[in-house]
Structure 1
Amino acid sequence: MFFFLKSLSRSVHDGEHHQEPEIKITDGIGTSTSLTVWRKSLIISCNGFTVINSHGDLAYRVDNYIVHPDELILMDGSGKSILTMHRRKKLGLGDGWLVFEGETSGCCSRKKLSKKPIWSVKKNINILQTNQNVLAYVFRGNTEKRHSYVIEGSYTQRSCKVVDETRRVVAEIKRKEAISGGVSFGVEVFVLVVQPWFDPGFAMALVLLLDQMFS
């Protein structure tokens, strides 16, 4: 399946207008990054994700031995830790996570974490159900005073958008279209499209947290 997805990802993007993998541009100039996400680890005994770029190369991977862990580590294709996410131990409703750069220590114990979080993500719990479209809020650092991004849509249907404060879409999760051979991917294989001014690694981290919150 992995080699099939590599071949499919490469062939699909060959027909697009020079899509480039793993672009990280902050000045708003460039093309979007399109990643094929497979909700499966390359390690048989693990849960996780395998992410392939438009050249058919392994871009990111996640390997978890627990279905709902308190720690998630996003690695690049070589196995280097890029971002670490810790479930936030906090009283009250909702599922909250802290996002750290690289790898941290003290994650699964009562020890103090070795770094400060660069992002925090909180699941939207709307008791009144006035806005069912909002899935989660993204905040800078360890604060929840003012969100920087909102995630909207339906993760279970693999139809989500990450929008900034100006309502500009910075990343989007889409269902992967069936190819001419009649292959149906369901929700286990989908596409993550990231705009050039947004970090694709962080966008993939948000996918991991949505999966924990809504799966």
Structure 2
Amino acid sequence: MLRFLKSLSRTVHEERVQDQEPSNGGDDGRYDGDDDSSGGGGEPSSLTVWRKSLFVGCSGFTVINSNGDLVYRVDNYGSHRRQELVLMDASGKSILTVCRSKKLKMVDNWLVFEGELSSKEQKPICRARKHINVLWPKVKRLARVYYDEKNMYMIEGSYMDRSCKVLDKSRNVVAEIRRKETVTKGVSFGLEVFDLVINQGFDSGLAMAIILLLDQMFL
């Protein structure tokens, strides 16, 4: 399955960049620890997310870039819903840790830490809260992510349908979750394989952390 995803990812990428001028540099989809939500020029990058671990007996995620290279992985032993999730790079290095808040509240609250959580004194790089709107139930707001005093992101859409947008405070789309398009007739991935499209200036590690948050909140 992973070999097929790599082949498909390369094919889709080649079709998208056909007849376009090559860009200088580019985003390989790896977390760099810097957040810049100002948008900026350039083409968005796309990651293929497989909601499955490569290891037998684990739940988790496998993420490859447009070149078919493994970029991120999440390997969970035991149940799907956990109090702590670790996003790793291809080599197994901890990139981000997502934890459910231990404070008892009416709605789900989560914390995201850089690297592996090592102590209780470690400060989170962002906080997330599941959105509950009783007055406007038709507005499909899923969650809020508070990155710092200046940056707040709203996730809207339906994670169950793999159709979500991450918007900044100016309502610019910085990342998007989409159904996986196939170039092979008769092939359907369902909901387990989908695309994560990341606009220039938004951090791919944070985008993956948002997927982990949504997966825990709504599945």
Q: Normalized against structure 1, the TM-score is what?
A: 0.89
Q: 2:113 aligns with which of 100, 111, 114?
A: 100
CA RMSD of aligned residues (A): 2.0
Deviations 1:100-121, CA, capped at 9 Å, x for gaps: 0011125xxxxxx241001001
Aligned equivalent of 2:180: 176
Q: 1:117 aligns with which of 98, 117, 124?
A: 124
Partners of 1:132 and 1:69 lie apart in 2 by 28
Aligned equivalent of 1:48: 60
Deviations 1:5-42, CA, capped at 9 Å, x for gaps: 01110111011125853276847243211000000001
Contact 2:153–2:167 (8 Å) recurs in 1: yes
Which amino acid letter does the alignment assign opposite residue 14 of structure 2?
D
Aligned equivalent of 1:139: 146
5 Å-filtered alignment, 1:22-33, equals: 22=29, 26=36, 28-33=40-45
Partners of 1:64 and 1:100 lie apart in 2 by 17
Matched, 1:37 2:49: yes
Aligned equivalent of 2:97: 84
Give the secondary-structure state (helix, strand or coil) at the position aligned to 1:30: coil
Higher RCO (CA < 8 A, seq sep 6+)? 2
Aligned equivalent of 1:201: 205
Contact 1:104–1:114 (8 Å) recurs in 2: no
Q: Normalized against structure 2, the TM-score is what?
A: 0.87
Give the secondary-structure state (helix, strand or coil) at the position aligned to 1:13: helix
Partners of 1:114 and 1:5 lie apart in 2 by 40
Matched, 1:75 2:88: yes
Structure 2 portions without partners, runs of 5+? none
Partners of 1:199 and 1:9 lie apart in 2 by 20
Aligned equivalent of 1:150: 154
Give the secondary-structure state (helix, strand or coil) at the position aligned to 1:15: helix
- Equivalenced residues, count: 206
